[in-house]
Amino acid sequence: MWRLAALLTGGLAMLAGAMLISDVGPLHALRTLFEGSLGSPGAVAGTLRETSPLLLAGVAVFLALRAGLYNIGVEGQLIVGAAAATAIALQVSGPAGILLASLGGMAAGALWAFPAGWIKAYRNGHEVITTIMLNNIAIYFTGWLLSSPMKDPDQQSPTTGTIDAASRLPHVFSNPPLIISSGLVLGIAAVILLALWLKKTVAGYELEAVGANPVAAKYAGINARKSTLLAMASSGAIAGLAGAVQVLAYEGRFYTGFSPGYGFDALGVAILAGSNALGVIPAGLLFGILAKGGTALQIEGVPKGITTVVLGFLILFAAAVRYRQVKAVA
């Protein structure tokens, strides 16, 4: 946790430095950043909304990472999950629709991750390459879906129709402008469940063993191939759920450019989280703050990209610190 705090301080210092260079008062900019993300109930609601998909997607990346897999395909799995969930929720309304759409999103995500898992387990093809390719397929495939089969004929832009209000995930707290969706609660619950599963169950232990040393895992009676396949498919299912929840809790529809890169930000979230799954929560929140605060900065005339640059540095430093620690132990 101290590591995250140190990183955060360093990041803020860098941000201030960048402001100085771009001729904006750094104190003023930082105040804008924080006021824009945490300063008012409305701002907090926006930050939490940005955080919500990063938690589930972060869990997806983190789970695969523990099994020794770099699932770069969370973005694609999230997109197909969202598309499937929207298609179902447009047909079935009410709680049954919510349930079916969530399950459908998970199934779609798992299906999208499965080839990468299979190729890794049985053909030793690297999952980074295959998942990147599957991302491209997901983007263009859903693009086609939105161009005709799923497109709402009444709309100009490529988008589906809007799902029924009865098919939306309920708010757990609503006192406008501060609204907290149950989507956020789901994300937090998923993080806690993953942390417990890894720590307390034999299956979690075996998954981490495969990630840490597949040969030793084999001697310990663990089927490394099956573990790899299961980990990849589960990771995809959670990514698909992230897409489904994004539709059901926030967006209400599926459209081109649905994800501004949640799946890629989730990679950063999982790396910043360190070795404990619970780290996904503060890391996701940090990303949320910078995303929302970045929008406020943009209004002040500071390019939003600057927060992305700072995030990039933070992840680089986090990865560097992590590497050093690993080396010191060995």
Partner 1 sequence: MNFAVEMQGITKRFGGVTALNSVDLQVESQTIHALVGENGAGKTTLMRVLYGASPADEGSITLKGQRVRHLRSKDAIAAGISMVSQHYTVIPELTCLQNLMLGAEDGPIIHPAKSEEKAEALAQRMGFSFDWHRPAAELSPAGAQKLEILKLLWRNAELMILDEPTAMLSPSDSEALFASLHKLTHEGATVILVTHRLPEVLEHCKAVTVLRGGMLVSEKQVSETSGAELTRMIIGADLPSARPSLRNEPGELVLEVSELAVKGDRHNVAVREVSIAIRAGEIVGIAGVDGNGQRELFQALAGVRKVAKSQIRIDGHELQSTADGLKRGLRVIPEDRQEEGVIESWSLESNAALGLQRLSPLAKGALIASQARRRWAATAAELLNTKYVGLSQPMSSLSGGNQQRFVAAKALGLAPRLLLAFQPARGLDIGGTLDLYREIRKACDEGAAALLVSFDLDELLDHCDRILVMNDGTLVDAPPGSSREMIGRLMVGAE
- φ/ψ of 49, rounded to 5, equals -65, -40
Give the range of 1-9, 182-190, 205-213, 299-307 binding partner 1 by CB under 8 A.
Answer: 205-213
Residue 261 Rama label (left phi>0; alpha psi -120 to 50; beta): left
Beta carbon of residue 330, minimum distance to partner 1 (angstroms, whole number) = 5
By the 8 A CB rule, do 279 and 59 touch? Answer: no
Which tokens belong to 247? 């539709």
Q: Tokens 């969930």 label which residue?
A: 85
Say how far apart CA 11 and CA 219 lie, in whole Å: 44
If one asks whether residue 96 binds partner 1 (CB under 8 A), the answer comes out as no
Task: Out of 50, 75, 127, 206, point to the residue binding partner 1 (CB under 8 A).
Answer: 206
**Could you tell me which of 53, 44, 46, 1 has the C-alpha nearest to residue 266?**
53
Helix (H, G, I), strand (E, B) or coil at 300: coil
Which positions from 287 to 326 touch partner 1 by CB under 8 A, shown as an x/- string?
A: ---------------------------------------x
If one asks whether residue 2 binds partner 1 (CB under 8 A), the answer comes out as no
Task: Out of 44, 61, 87, 209, point to the residue binding partner 1 (CB under 8 A).
Answer: 209
By the 8 A CB rule, do 262 and 53 touch? Answer: yes
Q: Which CB atom, from 165 or from 215, has the smaller least distance to partner 1?
A: 215
Task: Out of 200, 257, 260, 316, point to the residue binding partner 1 (CB under 8 A).
Answer: 200
Give the range of 79-87, 120-128, 220-228, 306-314 binding partner 1 by CB under 8 A.
Answer: 220-228
Task: Out of 174, 201, 260, 312, point to the residue binding partner 1 (CB under 8 A).
Answer: 201
By the 8 A CB rule, do 101 and 254 touch? Answer: no
Task: Out of 203, 309, 316, 319, point to the residue binding partner 1 (CB under 8 A).
Answer: 203
Say how far apart CA 11 and CA 294 lie, in whole Å: 14
By the criterion CB under 8 A, which residues form the site for partner 1? 199-203, 205-206, 209, 212-213, 215-216, 218-223, 326, 329-330
